[in-house]
Amino acid sequence: MAKNNPSKKNSYRIVPVTANVVSEITTCIAQYPQMKENLFRLKRTFFYRVFRKHCEEVGIPKELAHSHILHHTRAIELLRTGVPVTVVQDLLGHSALTTTAVYLRISNAEAKRILRDRGVI
């Protein structure tokens, strides 16, 4: 679980992870038991520095190389695969549905493709 809103003491949200990630975490804790309580306590600057380095290595432009882009990308992926917007809202920790609804916007070209695929135009 991830802290949803730091100003609310008991405000948490569920963050689903794959079995592979759970396995990696379990292995890490088994190898380094002293890290159990601190495994996810990373300084934001450290994460950002590593993230930027990996983005640079794979050719992601600097203007897209910020960690919040993962947030946006995952939201769009979930919505496009049919996950209900209210589920995405909970996963992202948004208190207002209107915040999540921003990810429902699609381009004109994509709208035309969807309509064409469904035989409407």
| CA nearest neighbour of 85 among 73, 96, 97 | 97
Query: Where would I find the beta strands (DSSP E) of the chain?
Result: 2-3, 12-13
Q: What is the CB neighbour count within 10 angstroms for residue 71?
A: 14
Q: What is the CB neighbour count within 10 angstroms for residue 74?
A: 14
Whether the per-residue pLDDT at 23 is higher than 90: the answer is: yes
| Number of alpha carbons in the 13 Å side-chain half-sphere of residue 96 | 3
Q: Model pTM greater than 0.95?
A: no
pLDDT tens-place string over residues 39-97: 777 788 888 888 899 999 999 998 888 878 888 888 999 998 999 999 999 888 888 99
